[in-house]
Amino acid sequence: MMDLALFRLPDGRAWVGEGPFAEAAAPPGGTAFYVNDFTLSDARPWKIPARLTPVKSREDLWAALAQNEALNDAAAPKVRWQKPATEWFKMAFRRIRKDVLAHKLRKLVPVLTEEGELQSGDPRVLLCRVLEAPDGLWGYARVQGNQGFLGATPELLMQIEGSTLRTMALAGTAKPNREESFAADVKEIEEHELVAGFIEEALKEFGQVSRGAREVSHPAGLTHFRTDISVQLQNSADINDLIARLHPTPAVGCLPRDESGREKLAEYRRQLKTPAFFGAPFGLKVDDAFHCVVSIRGLAWNEATMFLPSGCGIVGGSAFDHEWRELRLKRESVAKLFGV
């Protein structure tokens, strides 16, 4: 049975870890992956590989996995996707926006998942696509037997090197050819500033926070607002505490992030059958640094069923047709990137 985790940095450096994986509640002294679900329900999220191999290409990856299971002759997956129906999502949209206008919420991110049937090929072949993702994206993957998930995300949850923690607010979405109008879009700016403000406030207890200017970014064929944020950690902060403090940011969660908001978020994720990996933290502790991303722009599979999720932030200025189009754009960008 294949049992692996994969992590790739935007500069192309990547590592594949092979099982059996030891598990730990706290970050170990050496190399380990951080793998949890969206609700952080795994009490032992640190996965310590039996073997860790640096990889730069698909040849490196297949060579590293040769003792596990050869995939050289496997074909890329062909999937018959089913277009998602609008009814359940439209109902969720209306209820969320009603709560926002009533000031019970400021923002919430529902997730729509397109399902498909695997017609032929092997989804694990897409691991090479993770390695070959465009510059500026972080790659992630976890495969256990006949199920797994993988993706190439533009969103960093945190990077810790020495006493410096770096993160970002990435929110607001448009087609690449809409940059001029996007830069002045009041709804998209509002959505982004809610995320940036939350992150800045959340990190203040850990040290001096520096916040960069809001910029327009173009990762993986879409346009987003991005604000870089960093903090000089005053003390040796616990990584688990930092993850719990930041996750989920309003980019994938809700605001306010109180008990009521979290309950509503969890309920919408259940109703819309959101895959547990989507939006969750995924990281790697290696070479005296910790890199952790938000698991978006990805897909999952369980035997012959494929899942392609996308989310959108609903605020007071949201309109259903706009959000429905944004969800489609995000799924199309993932499908194009992975050739499915």
Domain extent, residue 308, equals: 3-67+78-338
**171 within a domain of the structure (yes/no):** yes
The reported pLDDT for the residue numbered 323 is 93
Residue 73, domain member (yes or no): no
Asked, for residue 307, whether it belongs to a domain, the answer is yes
pLDDT at 61: 87
pLDDT at 154: 96
> How far apart, in whole angstroms, are the C-alpha atoms of residue 9 and residue 135?
9
Distances (CA, A) of 259 to 142, 255, 256: 30, 11, 9
Strand-pair partners of 7: 15, 140
Burial class (CB in 10 A: 0-12, 13-18, 19+), 33: buried
Q: What is the pTM of this model?
A: 0.95
First CA to last CA distance, the chain: 24
CA-to-CA distance for 103 and 292, rounded, in angstroms? 32
Answer yes or no: is 295 within a domain: yes
Residue 248 within any structural domain of the chain: yes
Please list the pLDDT of the chain residue by residue as tens digits (340 residues).
Answer: 889 999 999 999 999 999 999 999 999 999 999 999 999 999 999 999 999 999 988 888 888 886 555 576 788 999 999 999 899 999 999 999 999 999 999 999 999 999 999 999 999 999 999 999 998 899 999 999 999 999 999 999 999 999 999 999 998 777 776 666 787 778 888 888 999 999 999 999 999 999 999 998 887 778 888 999 999 998 778 999 999 999 999 999 999 999 999 999 999 999 999 999 999 999 999 999 999 999 999 999 999 999 999 999 999 889 999 999 999 999 999 999 999 9
Nearest to 39 by CA among 196, 262, 293, 283: 262
Looking up residue 9, the CATH number of its domain turns out to be: 3.60.120.10
Give the chain's domain count.
1
Position 157 in a domain: yes
The token duo for 139 is 């790659």
- 63 domain residue, yes or no: yes
**Cα–Cα distance, 44 to 185 (Å, whole number):** 42
- How many CA atoms within 13 Å lie on the side-chain side of 339? 16
| Res 72: pLDDT | 67
pLDDT of residue 63: 84
pLDDT on residue 68: 55
Q: Do the domain assignments include residue 72?
A: no
Which H, E and C letters describe the chain, residue by residue?
A: CCEEEEEECCCCCEEEEECCCEEECCCCCCCEEEECCCCCCCCCCEEECCEEEEECCHHHHHHHCCCCCCCCCCCCCEEEEECCCCHHHHHHHHHHHHHHHCCCCCEECCEEEEEEEEEECCHHHHHHHHHCCCCCCEEEEEEECCEEEEEEECCEEEEEECCEEEEEEEEEEECHHHHHHHCCCHHHHHHHHHHHHHHHHHHHHHEEEEECCCEEECHHHCEEEEEEEEEEECCCCCHHHHHHHHCCCCCCCEECCCHHHHHHHHHHHHHCCCCCCCCCEEEEEECCEEEEEECCCEEEEECCEEEEEEECCECCCCCHHHHHHHHHHHHHHHHHHHCC
Position 186, amino acid: V
